[in-house]
Amino acid sequence: MLPDNLHKIDPEEAIQRVRALLSIDDMLEEEELAVRDVVRAFVADNVLPDIDKHFEDKTFPLDVGRRLGSELGLFGCALPDEHCGTGASYTAYGVANQELEYGGSGWRSLLSVQSGLVMYPIHAYGSEEQRATWLPRLHTGEAIGCFGLTEPGSGSDPGSMRTTLRRNGDHYLLNGAKAWITNGTVADVAVVWAKDDEGKVRGVLIEKGTPGFTATDEAHKFSLRASITSNLAFDDVVVHEDQILPRRSGLGAPLGCLNQARYGIAWGAVGSARYTFEAALRYTLERVQFGAPLAAFQIQQEKLAWMFSEITKAQLLALRLGRLKEQGKIHHAHVSLGKRNNVWMARECARKAREMLGAYGISGEYPVWRHMADLESVYTYEGTHDVHALIMGQAITGISAFRASS
């Protein structure tokens, strides 16, 4: 028989109470709250019901994914561009990432890649013609894009890429390979980074079906299974001048895109952490061992208090980044701070939640495992946790520690 006071706690009521305690609603504008509500409803109706099945089957429902564009207008929504911008604030865009990653990291990946890694370079570095051709279709989700920077031999060090863009008469030839590319096999357009004859990094737009361009899916993957990850190969692909992004060259061009996507991840990770925190709270209130709900034991409460503290700090950090971005004051070291801290925090929350659920922590019935597995990719892509420490270290000290000294 349980003591009376331990019977009375309804997990759903507890979750509502904790959501109110975590709330930063009074720091958000009306439009930002409206975006949150619309994306939250979309996730409840269209993502949560079958994401675990997609994770198990290693599939992603792209037709539903396109609706982030056609119905919600999220793709590229914060870009100040007549072809796609909706006037949404960067904070509204961040909040959308947070709500999507509550559902799953693969859903936030779709938004990050499409908006930050495909639409941003076309908007910021593209010609007027390239912008008019691609941005409207990418905005509605009619077209899907991918971003090819990483190669089999070049990950954290993209400056060592081997893909080349060589002049050949009145055109160029693209040769090389890209690895671990989100949405590579389904993309209508690939933004590919390659070195030209002078060794300068250039961005080129390659359409699906171009002769010499092939894409295949990554076969063995235990993380981000409900997301498409591909390898791209380029064998003497003919590239015309109008496919090259004309307004920026050098490694800073792709890195500028990463600032956009990393910003979205800093917000998204908070959503994932909220999911695993709520799962742990629900489980420990329901599960009775040694005559009481697990939530009544001090060790479990300490873990919940840790998650609550870190989620609170992380969402304040994300909001700070949003406001800095809107004021044009953000430095890429701020973005590294947000990506690094918030993904670390979400990964720790997922691990704690998994252990708090005991055996159920590895079961698809309580999908904490899926978040935990997906966060291993998020911790690695868009710059690993340690690479972001080095980026911040360089900003703090003025000394680059990327290369081993001889």
Shortest approach of ligand TGC to residue 405 CB, angstroms?
Answer: 13
Contact 237, 173 (CB under 8 A): yes
Among ligand FAD, ligand TGC, none, residue 164 binds (CB under 5-8 Å by kind) = none
Closest CA to 42 of 113, 108, 116, 91: 108
C-alpha distance from residue 396 to each of 278, 327, 390, 393 (Å): 36, 22, 10, 5
382 is catalytic: yes
The C-alpha angle 271, 275, 276, rounded to 5 degrees, equals 120
| Selected range binding ligand TGC among 106-114, 207-215, 235-243, 316-324, rule: CB under 6 A | 106-114
Among ligand TGC, ligand FAD, none, residue 255 binds (CB under 5-8 Å by kind) = ligand TGC
First to last CA, the chain: 69
Interface with ligand TGC (CB under 6 A), residue from 77, 149, 204, 349: 149
For position 381 contacting ligand TGC by CB under 6 A, the verdict is: yes
**Tokens 């680059």 -> residue:** 400
Integer Cα distance of 283 and 353 in angstroms: 9
**Quick one: which H or E segment has residue 182?**
strand 171-182
Nearer of residues 48 and 389 to ligand TGC, judged by Cβ = 389
Interface with ligand TGC (CB under 6 A), residue from 152, 216, 238, 402: 402
Site for ligand FAD, rule CB under 6 A: 113, 147-150, 155-156, 180-182, 224, 229, 377, 380-382, 384, 386-387, 402
Closest CA to 372 of 383, 361, 382: 361
Contact 206, 237 (CB under 8 A): yes
Among ligand FAD, ligand TGC, none, residue 148 binds (CB under 5-8 Å by kind) = ligand FAD
Q: Dig out the tokens for 74 from the structure.
A: 């999220």
- Please count the CA atoms within 13 angstroms of the CA of 3 that sit on its side-chain side: 6
Among ligand TGC, ligand FAD, none, residue 56 binds (CB under 5-8 Å by kind) = none
Q: How many residues bind ligand TGC (CB under 6 A)?
A: 26
The one-letter amino acid code at 65 reads G
Among ligand TGC, ligand FAD, none, residue 386 binds (CB under 5-8 Å by kind) = ligand FAD
Interface with ligand TGC (CB under 6 A), residue from 332, 348, 385, 393: 332
**Tokens 């077209």 -> residue:** 143
Residues of this chain that interact with ligand TGC (CB under 6 A) are 109, 112-113, 147, 149-150, 156, 158-159, 182, 250-252, 255-256, 258-259, 261, 332, 381-383, 387, 391, 400, 402
Residues acting as catalytic residues = 382
